[in-house]
């Protein structure tokens, strides 16, 4: 929402191969027929000084470079590497579970933007270590790898340590999904202990657009894996944190969050709220006609500009933090650190030559926390105006569970807007879901938020959490995720 939001079958049998190479991207594309490839089955076979490159006959244009990288949580094994797709190279981090890596579920996390690095999630929110100052990573006890194996991926290319050889950034979520599907398939097929393991896609913000498409692509590709005699990916759930999923149904939430009793009516003066209320019908009607009923590129962009001026500009004029309505944030702070100094500390850490060498980063590549070219490419394609709630409904009908959780203090992807689209979602459990009243869920006997749930869909708020809810409420967020992984109700 708004312009400022800024993964060959031979005779029916498939063999997956890998080989160890020095850490240069050129070596990732050796032929499968040159005799250098040997099967790989276990992560223990990986080196800390050289990449092992994995491929898959179903994805001849893809390979994955991976190595051991001990740099963060010393209590578990960790790995880094690149997904090489012709001229695109996506960087990832992987941490084994602190509990039981041989049995625990697997999570893949991506941040949003579009165009922001998942090191936001790794080093600020839910990763095994946090960078809170210039002294570097510190052990994070409420990490989501407490009971799961977890990936953090910088996607698409030109985000984080990821890069493209010749520019040409990905400009839409559907193309980005193909890379995630290939990566997940290669990883699970190479490391046999993860085959059939419950797999979850998680993320926040623009992840509300990314993840339903990524999950749908993985689910549909499972048919090809079965036809090839391979184990399908056990896609179990999607976790959408403070996501942007159905823009049209989330628009009214911007008014309610700042002008109604459900939000904080003290942010604006009365005249501003009255003006927003009077203009809201035109915003909703124009957006529905131009972006939903019949997508018109020019008129949809115009409708968005009108709604942005009406619903968003007053918030920024008030000097508020778009990720937490309880805090202030200057334009300079927003531009430099997204209002969170911890992100600057993490960026400084990731620009260090010794850290880049330890992680195996290609020497010529710099770290980019949020890529303006990628964001502009997605904006130009109007990717964000294509809702993904239909993908959510289709996944639910196929038995893939969906958790929609929202920090109650968020403005940019607020809980009222997220509640609105989940209630409106057309699927077989809709009527039962709508009849459920919001109830409190608790952690250690204290109210942690509100929730409703039925079938495979759960909606939950997290009190005191902003847009990056795991940062503000790490204990409650981890408890929510652990209950979700165990299949328990909140």
| DSSP one-letter code for 5 | -
Read off the tokens for 4. 């400022």
Confidence of residue 59 (pLDDT cuts 50, 70, 90): confident
Tens of pLDDT, residue by residue over 306-331, are 999 999 999 999 999 999 999 999 88
Report, in angstroms and rounded to the nearest whole number, the Rg of the chain calculated over CA atoms: 22
Would residue 470 count as lying in a domain? Answer: yes
Quick one: how many helices (H) and strands (E) in the chain?
16, 18
Read off the tokens for 484. 């979700």
Tens of pLDDT, residue by residue over 70-102, are 888 889 999 999 988 888 889 999 999 999 999
Could you write out the DSSP letters of every residue in 476-487? Answer: HHHHHHHHHHHT
Only one residue has tokens 């240069």, namely 24
Tell me the mean pLDDT in the region 220-247.
94
Would residue 256 count as lying in a domain? Answer: no
| DSSP one-letter code for 295 | -
Pick the closest to residue 212 from 174, 250, 253 (CA basis). 174
Tell me the mean pLDDT in the region 210-215.
97
Q: Residue 476 and residue 474: Cα distance in Å, rounded?
A: 6
Please check the confidence at residue 27 and state whether its pLDDT lies above 50: no
Considering its fold, how many domains does the chain have in total? 1
Tell me the mean pLDDT in the region 266-276.
94
3-state helix, strand, coil in the chain (%, to 5): 40, 20, 40
| Per-residue confidence (pLDDT) for residue 56, from 0 to 100 | 81
Please check the confidence at residue 147 and state whether its pLDDT lies above 70: yes
- Residue 213 CA: distances (Å) to CA of 7, 368, 373, 395: 12, 24, 22, 10
Domain extent, residue 467, equals 65-247+342-490
Pick the closest to residue 183 from 64, 361, 20, 29 (CA basis). 64
Please check the confidence at residue 219 and state whether its pLDDT lies above 80: yes
| Per-residue confidence (pLDDT) for residue 40, from 0 to 100 | 63
Which range among 181-195, 340-354, 421-435 has the greatest average pLDDT? 421-435
Exposed / middle / buried, residue 294 (Cβ in 10 Å: 0-12, 13-18, 19+): exposed
Q: Which residues pair with 368 in a beta bridge?
A: 160
- Backbone phi, psi, residue 333, to 5°: -65, -40
Residue 136, domain CATH = 3.40.50.1820
Would residue 187 count as lying in a domain? Answer: yes
Confidence of residue 167 (pLDDT cuts 50, 70, 90): low
Please check the confidence at residue 17 and state whether its pLDDT lies above 70: no
Please check the confidence at residue 124 and state whether its pLDDT lies above 60: yes
| Per-residue confidence (pLDDT) for residue 4, from 0 to 100 | 37
Tens of pLDDT, residue by residue over 358-392, are 999 988 888 999 988 899 889 888 888 888 999 99
The chain-wide mean pLDDT, for the chain, equals: 88
Please check the confidence at residue 216 and state whether its pLDDT lies above 60: yes
| Per-residue confidence (pLDDT) for residue 58, from 0 to 100 | 78
Would residue 56 count as lying in a domain? Answer: no
Q: Residue 150 and residue 203: Cα distance in Å, rounded?
A: 12
Cα–chain center distance at 125: 12
Least confident range from 6-10, 132-136, 343-347, 443-447: namely 6-10
Report the first-to-last Cα separation within the chain, whole angstroms: 29
Tens of pLDDT, residue by residue over 402-415, are 999 999 999 999 99
Read off the tokens for 68. 């051991």
Read off the tokens for 384. 């964000």
Would residue 432 count as lying in a domain? Answer: yes
Please check the confidence at residue 20 and state whether its pLDDT lies above 60: no
Active-site amino acid positions? 205, 410, 467
Would residue 165 count as lying in a domain? Answer: yes
Which range among 5-19, 179-193, 293-307, 448-462 has the greatest average pLDDT? 448-462
Pick the closest to residue 179 from 59, 78, 81 (CA basis). 59
Question: Does 254 or 40 have the greater pLDDT score?
Answer: 254
Report whether 443 contacts 278 (CB < 8 A).
no
| Per-residue confidence (pLDDT) for residue 332, from 0 to 100 | 86
Would residue 288 count as lying in a domain? Answer: no
Would residue 457 count as lying in a domain? Answer: yes
């Amino acid at each position: 929402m708004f312009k400022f939001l800024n993964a060959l079958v031979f005779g029916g049998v498939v063999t997956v191969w890998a080989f160890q190479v020095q850490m240069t991207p050129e070596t990732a594309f050796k032929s499968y027929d040159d005799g250098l490839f040997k099967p790989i089955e276990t992560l223990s076979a990986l080196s800390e000084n050289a990449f092992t490159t994995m491929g898959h006959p179903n994805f001849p244009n893809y390979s994955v470079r991976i190595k051991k990288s001990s740099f963060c949580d010393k209590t578990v094994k960790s790995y880094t590497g690149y997904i090489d797709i012709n001229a695109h190279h996506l960087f990832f981090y992987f941490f084994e579970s602190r509990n039981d890596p041989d049995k625990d579920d697997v999570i893949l996390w991506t941040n949003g933007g579009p165009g922001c690095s998942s090191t936001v999630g790794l080093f600020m929110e839910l990763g095994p270590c946090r960078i809170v100052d210039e002294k570097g990573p510190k052990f994070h006890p409420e990490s989501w790898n407490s009971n799961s194996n977890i990936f953090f991926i910088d996607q698409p290319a030109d985000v984080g340590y990821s890069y493209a050889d010749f520019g040409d950034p990905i400009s839409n979520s559907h193309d980005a999904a193909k890379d995630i599907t290939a990566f997940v398939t290669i990883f699970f097929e190479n490391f046999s202990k993860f085959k059939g393991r419950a797999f979850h896609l998680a993320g926040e913000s623009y992840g509300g657009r990314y993840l339903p498409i990524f999950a749908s692509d993985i689910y549909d590709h499972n048919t090809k894996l079965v036809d090839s005699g391979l184990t399908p990916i056990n896609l179990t759930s999607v976790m959408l944190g403070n996501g942007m999923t159905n823009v049209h149904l989330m628009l009214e939430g911007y008014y309610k969050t700042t002008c109604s009793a459900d939000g904080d009516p003290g942010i604006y003066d009365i005249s501003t709220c009255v003006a927003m209320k009077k203009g809201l019908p035109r915003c909703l009607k124009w957006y529905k006609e131009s972006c939903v009923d019949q997508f018109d590129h020019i008129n949809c962009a115009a409708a968005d500009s009108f709604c942005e001026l009406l619903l968003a500009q007053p918030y920024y004029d008030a000097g508020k933090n778009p990720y937490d309505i309880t805090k202030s944030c200057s334009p300079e702070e927003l531009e430099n650190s997204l209002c969170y100094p911890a992100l600057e500390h993490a960026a400084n850490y990731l620009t260090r030559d010794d850290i880049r060498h330890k992680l195996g980063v290609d020497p010529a590549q710099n770290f980019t926390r949020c890529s303006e070219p990628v964001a502009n490419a997605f904006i130009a394609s109007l990717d964000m105006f294509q809702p993904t709630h239909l993908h959510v409904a289709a996944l639910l009908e196929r038995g893939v569970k969906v958790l929609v959780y929202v920090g109650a203090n968020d403005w940019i992807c607020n809980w009222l807007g997220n509640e609105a689209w989940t209630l409106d979602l057309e699927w077989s459990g809709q009527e039962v879901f709508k009849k459920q009243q919001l109830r409190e869920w608790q952690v250690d006997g204290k109210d942690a938020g509100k929730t409703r749930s039925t079938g495979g869909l759960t909606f939950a708020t997290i009190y005191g959490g902003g847009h990056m809810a795991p940062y503000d409420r790490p204990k409650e967020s981890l408890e929510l995720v652990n209950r979700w992984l165990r299949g328990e109700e909140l």
